[in-house]
Amino acid sequence: MTDPYRGFAGPETPRPEPAGDGTGFVRPVLWLLLVVFAVANMVTSSIGGLSVFVGIGCGVATLACAVALVVHHRRHGRRS
């Protein structure tokens, strides 16, 4: 039985795969940096002798990596 909402279109053709744009390494690097900065943030927060600006810097870097991952996902989608 045919689909009445499909109309008289021809057979479906598969979507072509997007060409590789060289961003395959960006996501793993961002994840690695996110983990490294999050661990550094935890370590600097637990050690009392370090400057508070080091901890804030690690926190800001962690937040920046998380935002970059979200932006990358929204622009490129999940391909793997």
Look at residue 51 in the predicted model and tell me its pLDDT: 81
d(CA 66, CA 50): 24
* Residue whose structure tokens are 């508070």: 52
Query: How distant, in Å, are the alpha carbons of 3, 32, 68, 80 from that of 74?
Result: 33, 19, 10, 14
| pLDDT band with cut points at 50, 70 and 90 for residue 76 | confident
* Residue whose structure tokens are 């996110």: 34
Query: How distant, in Å, are the alpha carbons of 41, 63, 67, 75 from that of 44?
Result: 5, 16, 22, 33
Per residue in 6-60, pLDDT (tens digit) is 666 556 666 555 556 666 889 999 999 999 999 999 998 888 777 888 989 999 9
